[in-house]
Amino acid sequence: MTRPDLLLPVAFAAALTAWNPAAAMPYELTGDRFVQWMSHAEPMGELDYRDREKAYSYLDGVKDAGVGTFWCPAKPRKTFELAYDAADHIRGLPAEARKGNAAQMLLSFLASRYPCTKGVIR
């Protein structure tokens, strides 16, 4: 005996299982999008400020995840300074590379600017 009240939830769950956006793009932010968030012209509107704040927050997460293993800051720098430098670095990459994972590009940038010395676990 089929219960009609269960049919829709079961069909919905099956559809969600079949749909896997992570398979198409295993990361959330591309290098191009990070650069776009950091490249709004002045004067900026509210949405432009939000984009920039998202870029700052994303960079803060990448910094926290990799500090001491992938990159070692010689002296503290403000997030906004690093964000603009990182956006310039990513902007200089080939177009195809900028379609990749922004976190990897940011870690690579940080590691090249602030390498860790011997004795740091990598």
Specify the CATH number of the domain 28-113.
1.10.890.40
pLDDT in tens, 12-37: 444 444 444 444 555 689 999 999 99
Q: What tokens were used for 29? A: 């932010």
Nearest to 62 by CA among 20, 26, 27, 91: 27
Residue 47 burial (CB count, 10 A): 9
Position 15, amino acid = A
pLDDT in tens, 35-85: 999 998 888 899 999 999 999 999 999 999 999 999 998 877 889 999 999
Q: What tokens were used for 44? A: 């900026």
- pLDDT over threshold 70, residue 2: no
pLDDT at 1: 52
Contact 113, 63 (CB under 8 A): no
Contact 106, 57 (CB under 8 A): no
Higher pLDDT, 10 or 92: 92
- pLDDT over threshold 80, residue 8: no
Contact 66, 14 (CB under 8 A): no
pTM comes to 0.73
CA 15, CA 46: separation in Å to the nearest integer?
37
pLDDT at 44: 86
CA quadruple 84, 104, 17, 9: dihedral sign: negative
**Domain boundaries, given as residue ranges, for the chain:** 28-113
